[in-house]
Amino acid sequence: MTGIQARLLSLRVLRPNTFARGVIVESLLKDLSLSSKYNPNCIENPSLFSEIVLDWKTAIIRPVFKEGDKFDASKYRPVILSSLVVKVMESIIYDHMIAFLVTHQLIPREQHEFLSGRSVQSNLLCCMSDWTKDADSERPLDVV
């Protein structure tokens, strides 16, 4: 099973009586991934997308209320509702880019955001470890 097939199989298909944008596409993509005739390279073929569907180029932007005064526009953040196919393609491209960057060691060890197995907490632990080593070796240490 390829990474693309695994991505398509992991889609959460809503109940048939639930109406949502992209339910049909989601079911179709999941069924496609289960098909024995499925060729994962067809998704990565650029000629397949020479004519991009208009729905893939557009998105619905909805304001989501954060907190405070509901009549203040700055208290809302935009949320983009894009096509499911676009979201799947973005995740596939992201996975390929991260794999390339990690394989060729182009991401510095200090980078902790957006990498699996790393987080703000792991960044703070590495930082505390460096500070402790400096303090133990009695080197001057300034923390701002």
Contact yes or no for 41/26 (Cβ under 8 A)? no
- Alpha carbon distance 12, 8 (integer Å): 9
pLDDT at residue 75 in the model:
92
| Residue 91 domain-assigned (yes or no) | yes
> Which DSSP helix (H) or strand (E) runs through 61?
strand 59-65
Distances (CA, A) of 72 to 60, 61, 66: 21, 18, 11
Q: Which residues, in sequence order, are bridge partners of residue 79? A: 62
Domains contained in the chain, number: 1
pLDDT tens, N- to C-terminus, the chain (144 residues): 566 667 766 766 544 444 445 555 666 666 666 665 555 555 555 555 555 566 677 778 889 999 999 999 999 999 888 777 777 778 888 888 888 998 998 988 888 877 888 888 888 898 899 899 988 998 888 877
| Residue 42 domain-assigned (yes or no) | yes
| Residue 116 domain-assigned (yes or no) | no
Domain of residue 58: give its range.
3-107
Global confidence as pTM: 0.57
pLDDT at residue 63 in the model:
92
| Residue 37 domain-assigned (yes or no) | yes
| Residue 83 domain-assigned (yes or no) | yes
